[in-house]
Structure 1
Amino acid sequence: MQQRNDTPASPAAGGRFADYAAARRGAARMAVAPGVDIAYVVDDYTDGWKNAPVVMLLHGVAESAEAFIGWVPQLARHCRVIRVDLRGHGLSSPVGEHDALSIADMADDIDTLARRIGAPVHVVGAKLGAQIGLELAQRAVPWMASLTLAGVLISPGGALGKWVPEWIGLIEQSGVEGWARATMPGRMGTALTPEGMAWWTRYMAMAPAATVKACIRMFPRLAEPARLESIVCPTQVIVAVQPEQPGAYDQRQPVAEVRRWQTRIPGSALVELQADSYHIAATHPDACAAIALRFIERISS
């Protein structure tokens, strides 16, 4: 697998993502199904003589592999890191607005990619990526070495379903950027500066409207998984424990509710993080990466 370094664009050019194509020159692509290619980036700064563990990072809706850039410094020195563009996102194959997108299909993409890697893979999922990770873990795919969930709604249908018509309307009226801006406080809490909130809004605005609509329309079909008890790989759930902040579109679930379903996963651990955000992978990348790395190294040893 190839090694990748990011070279930020100049501030005058608008930051790292001003020229997205240039920022992703190092991406590779793999055909995982007829007409479906998955793009990914490999970050590997490990010692060449070590058999480093492989970690795959799965992002959320309206994001891409770049959402995990803040995790790379810690993880990539000790692990071979694969940052994936999920179907319809980044440089992966597009999806149509009314495509019958499903977690099962997106999990099939990752299953194919991981099997071709040919090594045990530690999966880290945030938001949509967490749903895919849970699906793969319930299948007991043989290549999955562990699962870390950093920001997950166990029932997106119950938590977000009531907003689907409103969110589709926001995108149709003001684009993905308008939707991202309106929903950002409920996603990030108070953790980011105004500049950080604006950056994430611009970044998520780059996602295709068709993909975002297709994902949002999928939410009502996503209930609490029925087979959590069947998960056999080591699993940890990182949860924000500071009180929720009032505001529109608050996407967090109470810690007690997270603990309720987490305990259905045999032998799993709940790791508390001092944060008030739902998207902790974005607001607290250093802390989340450190938690994930300790978990992976303990399992790998």
Structure 2
Amino acid sequence: MLASEEHARVGALRARRATAHHVTVAPGVDIAYVVDDYTDGWTTPPVVMLLHGIGESAEAFAGWAPRLARHCRVVRVDLRGYGLSSPVDEHAALSIEAMADDIDALAARLGGAIHVVGAKLGAQVALALAQRGAPWMASLTLAGVLISPGGALGKWVDDWLRLVDRSGVEGWARATMPGRMGSALTPQAMEWWTRYMGEAPAGAVKACFRMLPRLAEPSRLEAIRCPTQVIVAVQPERPGAYDQRQSVAEVRRWQSRIPGSALVELQADSYHIAATHPDACAALTLSFIERISS
């Protein structure tokens, strides 16, 4: 990384540390979040909470903020172990339910109805909350989700743990980036995402890896009652190393189990559409929120 790039990154991190909010959600667990709000002062905007994936933080949704924050109060969360939230030891007994408890407690502190957007790991947390029937959850948007992470990723967990031990989180990110992003990003963007994810704490990343084999297809999708939108990439078949994409037919199979849910197809060949197509995903999310709120 160039010295100028490192200086800019450190400056941005310091600025964020000065503006981040912190909430204690359990003994020894603090959750950090940032708020983007450029709405008109005389309005009461909807609140949208964005939940990120493994190896990420609130910064992963920076590209969503310009579109959403003019019309919504946007809450970008650092999940437990990431960003400015409490750290996680690599051998911690981490679970999606515990991470969902964190967000439930945060939502209680924020108050009111909240629209939730989840990508990757964040989508698993959001699904757990929706299946509980969290009363504050106004809607759910899934922008990049594996409905059975254990089935899709479990076979790679040992490889990924070795990659992190041998080459650090950045080594894992570099090896798996094509299977995550497809061909949607420029080389410069791929490098940025690789370095950004490479800065994630190894302990949290490895703890999340060890959790993946336990994550099967949810058994209570039919219990979800909040309005739900699933954004799926329409991609050609292009097998590759650690390819994390899934067919539209497979997404439609489980999405149809969620009562009244909508499937929206996005012209993209990536799994991580929240990163590769932030403008399109943010626009679809805003349109969905406005439609169900009218």
Category of TM-score, reference length = shorter chain: over 0.9
**Structure 1 partner of 2:181:** 188
What do residues 182-236 of structure 1 show as CA deviations (whole Å, max 9, x unaligned)?
A: 0000000000011110000000011000000000010000000000000000000
Count of equivalent residues: 292
**Structure 1 partner of 2:258:** 265
1:12 to partner: Cα distance = 1.9
What do residues 237-265 of structure 1 show as CA deviations (whole Å, max 9, x unaligned)?
A: 00000214221000011110000000000
What do residues 14-48 of structure 1 show as CA deviations (whole Å, max 9, x unaligned)?
A: 47534453141211100000000000000000011
2:85 to 79, 92, 96: 92
**Structure 1 partner of 2:13:** 21
Q: Secondary structure at the match of 1:162?
A: helix
Q: Distance in 2 between matches of 1:274 and 1:18?
A: 35
TM-score by length of structure 1 reads 0.95
Q: Distance in 1 between matches of 2:84 and 2:187?
A: 28
> CA 1:258 to 1:123, structure 2 compared with 1: closer, same or farther past 3 Å?
same
**Structure 1 partner of 2:4:** 12
The letter of the residue matching 1:258 is: V
What do residues 43-102 of structure 1 show as CA deviations (whole Å, max 9, x unaligned)?
A: 000011111000000000010000000000000000000000000000000000000000
> CA 1:229 to 1:36, structure 2 compared with 1: closer, same or farther past 3 Å?
same
Q: CA RMSD in A?
A: 1.3
> CA 1:62 to 1:20, structure 2 compared with 1: closer, same or farther past 3 Å?
farther
CA contact (8 A) 1:124 1:133 kept: yes
2:210 to 217, 221, 237: 217
The letter of the residue matching 1:130 is: A
**Structure 2 partner of 1:252:** 245
**Structure 2 partner of 1:277:** 270
The letter of the residue matching 1:293 is: L
Q: Distance in 1 between matches of 2:163 and 2:65?
A: 33
Which runs of structure 1 show a deviation greater than 3 angstroms over 4 or more consecutive aligned residues? 13-16, 18-21
Q: Secondary structure at the match of 2:19?
A: coil
1:289 equivalent to 2:265? Answer no
TM-score by length of structure 2 reads 0.97
CA contact (8 A) 1:42 1:81 kept: yes
1:11 to partner: Cα distance = 8.3
Q: Secondary structure at the match of 1:247?
A: coil
**Structure 1 partner of 2:39:** 46
1:42-191 equivalence runs, <5 A: 42-191=35-184
Q: Distance in 2 between matches of 1:231 and 1:88?
A: 27
The letter of the residue matching 1:138 is: Q
Q: Distance in 1 between matches of 2:145 and 2:66?
A: 23
Q: Secondary structure at the match of 1:69?
A: helix
CA contact (8 A) 1:38 1:109 kept: yes
CA contact (8 A) 1:16 1:23 kept: no
> CA 1:299 to 1:242, structure 2 compared with 1: closer, same or farther past 3 Å?
same
Return 5+ residue gaps in structure 2 as ranges.
none
Percent identity of the aligned residues? 76
> CA 1:167 to 1:44, structure 2 compared with 1: closer, same or farther past 3 Å?
same
1:231 equivalent to 2:224? Answer yes
Q: Which moved more, 1:244-253 or 1:271-280?
A: 244-253
> CA 1:299 to 1:275, structure 2 compared with 1: closer, same or farther past 3 Å?
same
> CA 1:166 to 1:95, structure 2 compared with 1: closer, same or farther past 3 Å?
same
CA contact (8 A) 1:190 1:245 kept: no
Q: Distance in 2 between matches of 1:179 and 1:149?
A: 24
The letter of the residue matching 1:252 is: R
Q: Distance in 2 between matches of 1:175 and 1:141?
A: 37
1:143 to partner: Cα distance = 0.2
